[in-house]
Structure 1
Amino acid sequence: MADPKKTNGVPNSIIDLLVNDIFKKNGINTEEVKGKISNDQKQAIKDLVEDLSQQVDSFLNSSNTKKNSGNDK
């Protein structure tokens, strides 16, 4: 089973920090919002985060591959 404190290599604490910062900047009270989000919206957010995480991982892997192949010359 995956480590519950990490989401695709990104610690949950970082995600929490970023989300809370965005909420504060926009005057959103997290306690009020928690009860108003439908299960469909929650799933859509989870899918979005997973997709973005995969894109970041892909980008990082391609960057590392390019750096490593450049060292072979």
Structure 2
Amino acid sequence: MKTEVVSTIKLDDKQRENVESELKRILGKDLNISYTEDKKILGGLIIKHEDKIINLSLKTKLKEMEKYLED
């Protein structure tokens, strides 16, 4: 199973280790994780696993806040 983690900056070894241990704890298995950088997300992480996307990016949080404040 391929899993992709997107961040704004390159994660160091300790950060990668933390991400991997949390994903293993949540999913209950070791994963083949690839890491990419995308400055457009502004901060946070986007995790893509199988057909699921967990968007924890700052860009998404700001859009959600903007939508909430408009209502």
In the superposition, the TM-score normalised over structure 2's length comes to 0.32
Higher helix share: 1
Q: Which has the higher contact order (CA 8 A, sep 6+)?
A: 2
TM-score normalised by the chain length of structure 1: 0.32
